[in-house]
Amino acid sequence: MTSKYKKFLSYYKPYLRLFLTIMGCTALVSGISLVYPLLTRYVTKDVLEGDLQHALGKIMMIGAVMLGLLLVQAFCHYFTDYHGHRMGAMMESDMRQELFDHLQTLSYSFYDQQKTGQLMSRMTNDLFWLSELYHHGPEDYFRYSIRFIGTFIILLTINVQLTLAVFLFLPVMGLYAWYFNKKLNKTYKRNKERISGINARLEDSLSGIRVVQSFANEEMEKNQFARENFRFLESRKDTYRNEAYLSNGMDLFIQLVTLTVIIIGGASIVNASLDLADMITFLLYVGFLVEPIQKLTGMTTIYQEGITGFERFMEMLKQKPEIKDSPDAIELADVRGNVTFQNVSFGYEGHSRDVLHNLSLDVKAGEFVALVGPSGAGKTTLCSLIPRFYEVNEGAVLLDGINIKDIALHSLRKQIGVVQQDVYLFAGTVLENIRYGKPEASEWEIVEAAKRANAHEFIMALPEGYSTDIGQRGVKLSGGQKQRLSIARVLLKNPPILIFDEATSALDNESERVVKESLDLLSENRTTFVIAHRLSTVRNAKRIIVLTDGGIEEQGTHEELAAQNGTYAYLYNMQLEMNG
């Protein structure tokens, strides 16, 4: 058994007792359904053709037996229907949780190449069909296998010649079903890919709706969505075409089988090799014989969608995090905050040249360092290497003299706080967003962090204060307010190392002043890296490092760099002219 099928079957393990009970009920339902035609045959052949004086009593007794079987069958139907779907839903929930947990471990490089809408599709649509397969797959195959085998044996006891004539159709029916199942499998996979495209387009367009409307590009978005929608429609048409061929072809075969039974059975009655009661029974069982093929063929959608969903699910689980803990990774304690880059080189996947090449830098604990330079020089990349969002290609990054590759990721990232230009706030309240920095924090701690971030005053002016819902990504707040909430979140985390990535570049002058005050307070006694677009905000930094395509070109205080009349002086004077 391949690892894929072992993995598929492993999700039954927590529910094995329930699964076996469902299979037991399924066997009862199938077995009872086989008994009804035999009882009908007994009534028509033995009871009605025998002593009619005792026939009524026998019929009543048989009716009571059939009623009892019907009640058992009804209970078993209910049990398998409810508990089978419940089991499938629980397995789907387990898989969705496993996939979500796995996605949390994947590195930045993975998300650089993925679309959120497509990942969401794998978390929802794919796993729904899998739950249907987990429930209906074994249950229906087991049920109809019992009916098929049982029917075949019973029909042989009635008339061997007629049974074999009917079975001549089955190989042809099987080949026909196999051919169109194969075509359907391709269309189902294409459907999933194209609905993922729709989800990605939808997520991208709706998330950026303000940009869309500000550029008056609604028509362009409509056209792009229409293209994705049309591609999905064409794929669905192919699916329905093949489903129609399959379904109607199988119906035709069923009618041919029934016609064969009527012709050969009628001839056998004329020849006295078959009586009318057996003929009626045979016709009843032909339905049972053909039903499994019809039903199992009808399961093609569930089976193919489920298998395709499982393959896509496994594709995600096979994605390995590029960055993970080493077997002997250590937990940090009493971090001082010395950060050292030793001959570090790094380049993004798919890019021909390194962003950083053989770079060395030593930042002392508690030092305030500003990183400036032209766009694309590697400022953000350099800071992203400290919490191991990306892995260095060569060299090493050290924290208090320890290679960060030897530190447990969770422990390393607990020591680092990041405030970004593009602040991400979660849908929810102000309180919940600040508490994200320290989930176990008390309300008092949250309020204190907000005060230190110059956020308490505007929070209290909101309609419900700290309980105010800020909307998706904090849409109800201004840029400066969102930035101060992100600073409060980091203050609550209280890490020894801070990274400010263009934290004030998108703010107006007043918001910048307030946020800068918060940043100055936050950076006290912490190792601080500030990526600065506005050079005026880092004039007071103890050390300014100028990064260019060639690496570290200059470093020193503002006064020292201005006097050198180099790259920093050029950038600073250019900004003065632009602002003047």
Query: The domain that contains 118 carries what CATH number?
Result: 1.20.1560.10
**Same structural domain, 558 and 435:** no
At 534 the pLDDT is 73
**pLDDT (average), residues 351-374:** 87
Q: Extract the tokens encoding 516.
A: 């800068």
**Same structural domain, 396 and 474:** no
- State the pLDDT confidence band at 82, using cuts at 50, 70 and 90: very high
Average confidence score pLDDT of the chain: 82
In a domain, 327, yes or no: no
DSSP line for 530-552: EE-SSGGGGTT-SEEEEEETTEE
DSSP line for 251-281: HHHHHHHHHHHHHHHHHHHHTTSS-HHHHHH
**Same structural domain, 263 and 136:** yes
At 425 the pLDDT is 83
Is residue 3 scored above 80 in pLDDT? no
Edge-to-edge strand list for the sheet holding 551-556? 416-420, 497-501, 527-531, 368-372, 543-548, 551-556
Higher pLDDT, 273 or 404: 404
**Same structural domain, 424 and 386:** no
Question: What is the torsion angle, in degrees rounded to the nearest 10, for the CA atoms of residue 175, residue 178, residue 183 and residue 189?
Answer: 180
- State the pLDDT confidence band at 34, using cuts at 50, 70 and 90: confident
Would you say 47 and 58 are in contact if contact means Cβ atoms under 8 Å apart? yes
- The domain containing residue 568 runs over which residues? 336-415+497-506+525-580
**Torsions phi, psi for 204 (to 5 deg):** -65, -45
Residue 387 maps to which CATH number? 3.40.50.300
Total count of domains within the chain: 3
In a domain, 213, yes or no: yes
Question: What count of other Cβ atoms lies within 10 Å of the Cβ of residue 368?
Answer: 21
The C-alpha angle with vertex 63 and arms to 62 and 67, in degrees rounded to 5, equals: 115
**pLDDT (average), residues 301-327:** 81
Beta strand 339-346 pairing with 551-556: unpaired
Overall residue count recorded for the chain in this entry? 580
**Closest CA relative to residue 311, chosen from 122, 138, 93, 89:** 122
Query: Among the listed ranges 104-108, 383-387, 438-442, 451-455, which one has the minimum average pLDDT value?
Result: 104-108
Is residue 48 scored above 60 in pLDDT? no
**Same structural domain, 46 and 192:** yes
**Same structural domain, 468 and 540:** no
Would you say 404 and 388 are in contact if contact means Cβ atoms under 8 Å apart? yes
In a domain, 326, yes or no: no
At 51 the pLDDT is 60
> Which tens digit of pLDDT belongs to each residue from 372-407?
888 778 888 899 899 888 888 899 999 999 999 999
Q: Which of 287, 317, 347 is the endpoint of a domain?
A: 317
**Same structural domain, 165 and 238:** yes
CA gap 95, 8 in Å, rounded:
10
Q: Extract the tokens encoding 390.
A: 């990306």
CA gap 562, 571 in Å, rounded:
10
In a domain, 244, yes or no: yes
Helix (H) or strand (E) holding 350, with range, is: none
Question: What is the torsion angle, in degrees rounded to the nearest 10, for the CA atoms of residue 423, residue 429, residue 435 and residue 440?
Answer: -150
CA gap 96, 115 in Å, rounded:
18
**Same structural domain, 442 and 403:** no
CA gap 104, 433 in Å, rounded:
19
CA gap 417, 434 in Å, rounded:
13
Maximal CA-CA distance, the chain: 124
**Torsions phi, psi for 554 (to 5 deg):** -145, 155
CA gap 396, 394 in Å, rounded:
7
Question: What count of other Cβ atoms lies within 10 Å of the Cβ of residue 78?
Answer: 11
In a domain, 396, yes or no: yes
**pLDDT (average), residues 312-333:** 84
**Same structural domain, 295 and 422:** no
**Same structural domain, 169 and 112:** yes
Residue type, 561: L
- Quick one: how far is CA 177 from the chain centroid? 32
Q: Alpha helix locations (H) across 271-374?
A: 276-298, 300-317
Is residue 514 scored above 80 in pLDDT? no
At 272 the pLDDT is 75
CA gap 438, 418 in Å, rounded:
14
Is residue 552 scored above 80 in pLDDT? yes
**Same structural domain, 543 and 485:** no
In a domain, 518, yes or no: no
Q: Extract the tokens encoding 404.
A: 């960060």
Residue type, 550: G
In a domain, 381, yes or no: yes
Would you say 374 and 548 are in contact if contact means Cβ atoms under 8 Å apart? yes
Give the contacts of 527 (CB within 8 A, at least 6 positions apart).
337, 338, 339, 363, 364, 365, 366, 367, 496, 497, 498
Q: Is 547 buried (19+), middle (13-18) or exposed (0-12) by CB count in 10 A?
A: buried
At 427 the pLDDT is 80
Query: Among the listed ranges 49-58, 282-291, 445-454, which one has the minimum average pLDDT value?
Result: 49-58
Q: Which of 257, 290, 317 is the endpoint of a domain?
A: 317
User: Would the CA dihedral through 321, 326, 331, 336 be positive or negative?
Assistant: negative
Instruction: Write down the pTM of the prediction.
Output: 0.70
> Which tens digit of pLDDT belongs to each residue from 198-237?
877 887 787 777 667 666 777 888 888 888 889 889 888 9
Q: Which of 444, 471, 494 is the endpoint of a domain?
A: 494
Is residue 41 scored above 60 in pLDDT? yes
Is residue 564 scored above 60 in pLDDT? yes
**Same structural domain, 34 and 19:** yes
Question: What count of other Cβ atoms lies within 10 Å of the Cβ of residue 100?
Answer: 11
At 50 the pLDDT is 55
Query: Among the listed ranges 20-24, 128-132, 412-416, which one has the minimum average pLDDT value?
Result: 128-132
In a domain, 514, yes or no: no
